[in-house]
Chain A
Amino acid sequence: MNANAFWHFLTLQLVKERSKHLSVILISMMIVFLLSSVLFISSSIRYSLEETLKVQPDFVVSRTLGGTAIPTPMAWGDELLEIYGVSQVTPRVYGRYFFEPKGKSFLLVGVDFMEEQSHKNLQALIETTDIKAFFEGKQMFVGQGVKEYLNAHFYKGSYNFLTPKGQFENVKFFKTLPSQTNLISNDMIILPLDLARKILGYDEEEVTDILFNVPNTDEWDMMTDKLSALHYDLHVVNKKEVQRSYANLYNYKGGVFLILFLILLATFSLILYQRYSMVYSSERRHIGLLRALGWSINAVLRYKFTETIVVVSVSYILGVLLAYFYVFVLGAPILREIFLGGKNLHNIVGFLPVLDFSVLSSIFLIYALPFIASVLIPVWKVSVTDPKEAML
Chain B
Amino acid sequence: MMIKIENLYRTFHHDDNEVPVLKNINLNIKEGECIVLKGVSGSGKTTLLSLIAGLDKPSSGKVLIDGEPISKLPDLFASELRAKKIGMIFQHFNLFEHLTVHENVTIPLIPSGLKMKEIQKKVDRALSLAHISHKKEIQAGRLSGGEQQRTAIARALVADPDIILCDEPTANLDRDNSLLFIESIKELNRLGKTIVIATHDPLFEHLDFKSTIIPMADGKIVSSYDDE
Contacts and interface: CB of A to CB of B under 8 A. Distances in A.
Contacts of A8: 116
Contacts of B114: 2, 5
A292 B83 contact: no
A296 B50 contact: no
Given A4-B115, A388-B50, A293 B56 contact: no
A293 B57 contact: no
Interface in A3-44: 4-6, 8-9, 12, 16-17
Nearest to A4: B116
A296 B79 contact: yes
Contacts of A17: 98
A296 B108 CA distance: 11
A298 interface: yes
Nearest to B99: A16
Nearest to B83: A294
B191 interface: no
Contacts of B109: 5
Q: Interface residues of A toward B: which range?
A: 20 to 34
Interface stretch (A181-189, A283-291, A343-351): A283-291
A329 B71 CA distance: 61
B119 A5 contact: yes
Nearest to B161: A294
Given A386-B55, A386-B57, A388-B56, A294 B116 contact: no
Nearest to A19: B98
Contacts, number: 88
Q: Interface residues of B toward A: which range?
A: 20 to 34
A2 B55 contact: no
Interface string A259-289: 0000000000000000000000000011001
A388 B55 contact: yes
B113 interface: yes
Given A5-B116, A286-B96, A294 B111 contact: yes
A293 B76 contact: no
Given A289-B94, A292-B53, A299 B116 contact: no
A389 B55 CA distance: 8
B160 interface: no
B6 interface: no
B84 interface: yes
B57 A5 contact: no
A286 B111 CA distance: 15
Nearest to B106: A9
B207 to A, nearest CB: 26
Contacts of B116: 2, 4-5, 8
Contacts of B79: 291, 294-297, 299
B111 A12 contact: no
Interface string A372-392: 000000000000101111010
Contacts of A293: 82-83, 88, 107-108, 155
A42 B87 CA distance: 59
B226 interface: no
Contacts of A2: 112-116
Interface in B162-212: none
5 contacts: A5-B110, A8-B116, A289-B96, A294-B108, A388-B50
Given A291-B79, A293-B108, 7 more contacts: A5-B112, A5-B119, A296-B80, A299-B79, A299-B110, A387-B56, A388-B50
User: What are the 8 closest A-B residue pairs judged by CB atoms, nearest first?
Assistant: A294-B83, A296-B79, A388-B55, A299-B111, A387-B55, A293-B108, A388-B56, A294-B82
